[in-house]
A and B are shown apart, each in its own frame.
Chain A
């Protein structure tokens, strides 16, 4: 069955370190998204991509970067981790280009920055 996976599921790192969170989908979806989930904020969009070599900034993109070298993967990099980036990160994907498309979410990565 097609799916979307994230790794690692849990990560503890130190302030200032570079961290990369992986997202892999086997649906062959064009669109991929990264969100962070924080208490009192719901989910907020970090970056998204409409296809290979395409990336766009979301609402809370400062301190994060993404690259899209193939259809299946959209890794999220924290260039220099900060305690404010402690959060649960969700990757999602969708097939089409319309506003009605369903986004399918991965299981999440819990990141703690000490």
Chain B
């Protein structure tokens, strides 16, 4: 579990500001994911990446941007934060298809 980290762990921002959440993994996993967790909705996939420079949309991508220039990093950017993006964000990674998926510790984001 120590192999996947997120920063910051807590963030408060204002509506309209740009926010970037960082995810770093030391396992050289090919796949990386961003989820948001909201009460009553479980874990919803925002974006995922199968390898460096390959990203794709998940279930709820609107308002978010991702990039993956290096295998170990997968930042998530909220270009213009809205109150509806207040949530807990989890990064996850796995080696390949069929492998165990591991989650980061999460980032609690509050948009005022």
Genuine A/B complex = no
